[in-house]
Amino acid sequence: MSVLSSIGRIATRYAAARARHRSDRILLSLPPELRKDIGFPEILDARNSRRAATFSAKVI
């Protein structure tokens, strides 16, 4: 695996994370009633539970 492909992979992950966080910030700036209508709190909770499940798995 070349250094350039590794850098490209890291840059792609970084761009995806920035876009995800930007979307979260935009949704959090909406009024609570509107967020509830679109189901945003449940979406955020689902993301966090998946992330916690991913990082809590033991690797032997």
Domain tally for the chain?
Answer: 1
Q: What is the pTM of this model?
A: 0.56
Q: What's the rounded Cα separation, in Å, for the pair 39 and 9?
A: 32
pLDDT category at 56 given cuts 50, 70, 90 is low
Summarize pLDDT for 8-48 with one digit per residue, the tens. Answer: 999 999 999 999 999 989 988 989 888 888 887 665 666 66
| Domain of 24, in residue numbers | 3-56
Q: Is the pLDDT of residue 53 over 60?
A: no
Closest listed residue to residue 46, CA positions, set 14, 20, 12: 20
Q: What's the rounded Cα separation, in Å, for the pair 45 and 39?
A: 10
